[in-house]
A and B are shown apart, each in its own frame.
Chain A
Amino acid sequence: MDDMRLVERTVEQLQSKIEAKGVQVYYGEKHALKDVDVAILDRTVTAFIGPSGCGKSTFLRCLNRMNDTVASARVMGSIRIDGEDIYDARVDPVQLRAKVGMVFQKPNPFPKSIYENVAYGPKIHGLAANKAELDSIVEASLRKAALWNEVKDRLDATGTGLSGGQQQRLCIARAIATSPEVLLMDEPCSALDPIATAQVEELIDELRSQFSVVIVTHSMQQAARVSQKTAFFHLGSLVEYGETGQIFTNPKDPRTEAYITGRIG
């Protein structure tokens, strides 16, 4: 019977990549995230869903210490990636962010050439010994981001001149150029049209073979389409975390049901 199960459900057997325990976040007086425990699996797409202000983006930003850049933010609890506490004093946040890449809501390519956008990360992290190596990283990243064929003849053109969907795929190429192990995506498709969205979703599914992908999305259909695990956040708490199919057909918590069926929660 086991081999008859859908591929999507076999994720349960994968190991966890990120383990968060008792994570609390305060922005000044505001208690934005309350006691979140979650284990995010390796080579799996995990979707964070929930209404605005529920804490999902806050939690996502904890995973690569983006909250360090917010003066009023305090993060408590433990977050381990491969068993290593990322808030340990010895961890360099810049190195951490090479390992945990991030893609934002609005495509934000640097005002430089397509080539430079992708080459920037490997350059500053010293991942390429020479120009030939750098070229191959750029090509491989653009291929993984399903953008290579569209831009290979104009790598010197400016990144900001691309269409919105292409810009977002360029940002994904940039994020994966440093060979991260985790890719965080904060509403990566909210500024894209349906075709570009489908292309990015296809890309996310392909990236899953190499990375652990965590995506925050307001589109429940997107969460249902791309993820294998879904976490529902509400009022700063993680309400329910489970296999995506289970969350969308038979959620255990009435608050999850109220949210995903579009009722007043």
Chain B
Amino acid sequence: MKEPHILSAFDRDLEAVQAHVLRMGGLVEQALLDAAEALETRDEALAQKVQAGDKAIDALEEQINEECARLLALRAPAAGDLRTVLSVMRIAAALERSGDYAKNLAKRSLVLSNMSPLGGTSSSILRMARTVVLRLKEALDAYIAHDVAVAQDVRLRDKEVDQMYNSLFRELLTHMMEDPRNIGAAMHLHFIAKNIERVGDHATSIAEQVIYLSTGDMPADERPKAELISGTDTAAGR
């Protein structure tokens, strides 16, 4: 770890904003898991809890932005300190968006609980959500440890989530072709899958912030992405 600042209040400020980010990360991870669980088990109470909990995530982001603005104005951070503040703000933004996706998942799960299930799609979604939450957790752990190797790994493994999304996409397409009455539910499930895939992208962007924080540069190489499904490019476009 780095040496402490001569002015110890500076260290306390930096530690405080980073602690907020971790708390935010914890809330977002739980919200995603709960929302996917609520979908799978048709637990309306749990879904409502996730919806209500998004306020706390948004409030934390606002607090982080406020404190970062103060830090920039009052402490004029440079070099690694500056990158810490900038990465904190970007990570908080990524987490806030991920929290919104969890809330949206919960909202859709309430609608879906009144519809008949489409095969095993909701458990596929739960599996996908667990994988994404794991990536998110790894990215945040890499952030705390300034671990570039783990961050690189998170970046490269986003492809797995893309592949899960693609196979869900195919499965939903099949359900819709089988019976048009499935379209309503399938559309909701597709939006859910797409949103979880987006959370995966946010986990990747957090991993990229870890690399920026530690090295001073954003990764220059293109990360690997799963192929789009043929003939449905516009639908699955990204």
B9-22 CB contact bits vs A (8 Å, 1 = yes)? 01000000000000
- Cβ-defined partner of B3 (8 Å) among A221, A256, A264: A264
A220 within 8 A of B: yes
A258 within 8 A of B: yes
Work out how many contacts link A and B, with CB atoms closer than 8 A: 40
A258 to B78, CA, bound (A): 10
- Cβ-defined partner of A261 (8 Å) among B80, B216, B217: B80
Q: Are B83 and A262 in contact (CB under 8 A)?
A: no
Smallest Cβ-Cβ distance to A258: which chain B residue: B3
A260 to B81, CA, bound (A): 10
Contact residues in B for A121 (Cβ distance below 8 Å): none
Given contacts A249-B83, A249-B216, A250-B216, contact A263 B3 (CB under 8 A): yes
Contact residues in B for A251 (Cβ distance below 8 Å): 79
A250 to B81, CA, bound (A): 10
A32-55 CB contact bits vs B (8 Å, 1 = yes)? 000000000000000000000000
- Cβ-defined partner of B79 (8 Å) among A221, A261, A264: A261
B53 within 8 A of A: no
Given contacts A220-B78, A249-B82, A249-B83, contact A264 B4 (CB under 8 A): yes
Contact residues in A for B2 (Cβ distance below 8 Å): 263
Q: Are A261 and B76 in contact (CB under 8 A)?
A: no
- Cβ-defined partner of A248 (8 Å) among B5, B7, B79, B217: B79
- What's the least CB distance linking B124 to chain A, in Å? 43
- What's the least CB distance linking A43 to chain B, in Å? 26
B6 within 8 A of A: yes
B77 within 8 A of A: yes
Q: Are B4 and A250 in contact (CB under 8 A)?
A: no
A263 to B81, CA, bound (A): 11
Smallest Cβ-Cβ distance to A264: which chain B residue: B3
A233 to B205, CA, bound (A): 37
Contact residues in A for B83 (Cβ distance below 8 Å): 249-250
Binding site secondary structure of chain A: helix
- Classify chain A: how many residues form its interface, as a range: 10 to 19
Given contacts A249-B216, A250-B216, contact A262 B80 (CB under 8 A): no
A257 within 8 A of B: yes
- What's the least CB distance linking A122 to chain B, in Å? 41
Q: Are A263 and B4 in contact (CB under 8 A)?
A: yes
Contact residues in B for A263 (Cβ distance below 8 Å): 2-6
Given contacts A221-B76, A249-B216, A250-B216, contact A261 B4 (CB under 8 A): no
Given contacts A249-B216, A250-B216, contact A257 B79 (CB under 8 A): yes
Report which residue of B10, B79, B81 has the largest number of chain A beta carbons within 10 angstroms of its beta carbon: B79
Q: Are A262 and B10 in contact (CB under 8 A)?
A: yes
Smallest Cβ-Cβ distance to B77: which chain A residue: A261
Contact residues in B for A250 (Cβ distance below 8 Å): 79, 83, 216-217
Report which residue of A248, A249, A257, A261 has the largest number of chain B beta carbons within 10 angstroms of its beta carbon: A261
- What's the least CB distance linking A86 to chain B, in Å? 34
Smallest Cβ-Cβ distance to A220: which chain B residue: B78
Contact residues in A for B79 (Cβ distance below 8 Å): 248-251, 256-257, 260-261
Smallest Cβ-Cβ distance to B3: which chain A residue: A263
* CB-CB contacts below 8 Å: A205-232 with B: 220-221, 224
Q: Are A262 and B6 in contact (CB under 8 A)?
A: yes
* CB-CB contacts below 8 Å: A240-261 with B: 248-251, 256-258, 260-261
- What's the least CB distance linking A52 to chain B, in Å? 14
A221 to B4, CA, bound (A): 20
Smallest Cβ-Cβ distance to B215: which chain A residue: A250
Contact residues in A for B81 (Cβ distance below 8 Å): 261
* CB-CB contacts below 8 Å: B190-228 with A: 216-217
Tell me the B residues contacting A by CB distance below 8 Å.
2-7, 10, 76-83, 216-217
Jot down 10 A-B pairs with beta carbons below 8 A, ordered by A. Answer: A224-B78, A249-B78, A249-B216, A257-B79, A260-B79, A261-B77, A262-B6, A262-B7, A263-B2, A264-B4
The 8 A-B residue pairs with the shortest CB-CB distance, nearest first, are A250-B216, A263-B3, A260-B78, A248-B78, A261-B81, A257-B79, A262-B5, A251-B79
